[in-house]
Amino acid sequence: MSPPAIAPGTYRLPAEVARSVERARRALGDRGAGPNPGWVAALTGASRKEILRGLSELEDLLPLEEEIRHRHLAAGRANYAQIRGPFDLYLLTRLLKPAHIVEAGVSSGVSSAHFLAGLRRNRRGTLHSIDRPTPQRGSELGTHESPVAIPRGRSSGWAVPEELRDGWDLRIGPSERLLPTLVRGLPKVGIFLHDDLHTAPHLKFELRTVAPRLAPGAVVLADNTDWTGSAFPDFAHQVGVPSFRRGRTDFVGLAWPAQPPEL
Ligand SMILES: C[S@@+](CC[C@H](N)C(=O)[O-])C[C@H]1O[C@@H](n2cnc3c(N)ncnc32)[C@H](O)[C@@H]1O
């Protein structure tokens, strides 16, 4: 069964906050990047006040958002690989204040940049990212090529502003090989994002690998779950927690329980 959807409009924003959100969205250059505060609240249990405080900080991210957009444009990309809800990733990071975030799938690094911006503001925590880059074949992105392909002369995370890179643990290679070692070396993971190879067996592998290290209240996210069948809802069912769909997208999340079952 598909997880229940939480629509963006369920959360009314005061005009001032809505203006900051709009400015950030324009600076990033993605009409679809608006936050879904109701979804973030469902995943974190955060109060309205906490959510609004986090969203009002988007005003301070404007230079970063501009830079991310310009880095894409300079590489001949009018848009990025379209992680849904980059501002939600920032918000989750600010609300949960995780010591460790793990993400699989970096490409140009829009998700990474928003996690890193949140961690920088928290003044603590590390982002661990894994990417097996997909190289762009020619000097321009071919019509049949995926936008996740890395432009010539660039590497995974190429759109992440320099000022955010300090302390970023970026590992290059397949998650099948790198994730188990990475996760074994971490005490607790506060956010996990699956955004790499969107197949059911791969998503299952990543969820099972990270599960033993998830902190109580950790948020587990997976994008493009329309491609991974029932893998995510099945996992949520095994863990015994609800999962939530971000609006009408197939970006889903769950909150890890304090007393998880043996998987
Ligand atoms: C959808 S993109 C990631 C988008 C990114 N999260 C963002 O916000 O822009 C997926 C990335 O995962 C990489 N990838 C695909 N299969 C992988 C695997 N098995 N292990 C690690 N990375 C993989 C792709 O090459 C690509 O760089």
Q: What is the pLDDT of residues 154-172, one digit of tens each?
A: 999 999 999 999 999 999 9
**Which residue, among 201, 207, 241, has the nearest Cα to 222 in the 3D structure?**
207
CATH number for position 83 = 3.40.50.150
Tell me, yes or no, whether 169 lies in a domain. yes
Domain around 10: 5-255
Please state, in angstroms and rounded to a whole number, the distance separating the CA atoms of residues 79 and 81.
Answer: 7
DSSP 177: H
Q: Does residue 209 surpass a pLDDT of 80?
A: yes
Predicted local confidence at residue 42, as pLDDT: 96
CA of 191 to the centre of ligand 1 (A): 17
Pocket probe for ligand 1: among 106, 145, 210, 251, the residue whose CB has the most ligand atoms within 8 Å is 106
Tell me, yes or no, whether 260 lies in a domain. no
The percent of residues in the chain predicted with pLDDT above 90, rounded, is: 85
Ligand 1: residue whose CA is nearest its atom 27? 107
Total Cβ atoms within 10 A of residue 4:
11
Predicted local confidence at residue 11, as pLDDT: 82
Predicted local confidence at residue 40, as pLDDT: 97
Average pLDDT over residues 107-115: 97
Tell me, yes or no, whether 261 lies in a domain. no
Q: Does residue 8 surpass a pLDDT of 80?
A: no
Tokens representing 188?
């607790």
> Which 3 state secondary structure label does DSSP give 14?
coil
Tokens representing 155?
């590497």
Predicted local confidence at residue 147, as pLDDT: 87
| 253, 44 Cβ separation under 8 angstroms | no
Q: Virtual CA dihedral for 153, 159, 161, 165, nearest 10 degrees? A: -80
Number of folded domains in the chain?
1
In this structure, the residues whose C-beta lies within 6 A of any atom of ligand 1 are: 80-81, 83, 104-108, 110-111, 130-134, 148, 174-176, 195-197
Average pLDDT over residues 69-74: 95
From the number of C-beta atoms within 10 Å of its C-beta (0-12, 13-18, 19+), residue 169 rates as middle
CA of 1 to the centre of ligand 1 (A): 26
Please state, in angstroms and rounded to a whole number, the distance separating the CA atoms of residues 189 and 122.
Answer: 16
Nearest ligand 1 atom to the CA of 108 is 9
For 136-151, how does the pLDDT look when each residue is reduced to its tens digit (9 = 90+)?
998 888 888 888 999 9
Tokens representing 89?
């990733």
| Residue 237 parent element (H or E) | helix 231-239
Tell me, yes or no, whether 262 lies in a domain. no
Predicted local confidence at residue 82, as pLDDT: 76
| 115, 87 Cβ separation under 8 angstroms | no
Residue-averaged pLDDT of the chain: 95
| 118, 92 Cβ separation under 8 angstroms | yes
In three state form, how does the secondary structure of 154-176 look? CCCCCCCCHHHCCCCEEEECCHH
Q: Which residues of 206-231 are buried (b: 16+ CB within 10 A; e: fewer)?
A: bbebbbebbbeebbbbbbbbeebeeb
Average pLDDT over residues 117-128: 98
Predicted local confidence at residue 1, as pLDDT: 65
Tell me, yes or no, whether 97 lies in a domain. yes
Tell me, yes or no, whether 263 lies in a domain. no
Tell me, yes or no, whether 218 lies in a domain. yes
Ligand 1: residue whose CA is nearest its atom 11? 105
Predicted local confidence at residue 5, as pLDDT: 85
Ligand 1: residue whose CA is nearest its atom 26? 107
The percent of residues in the chain predicted with pLDDT above 70, rounded, is: 99
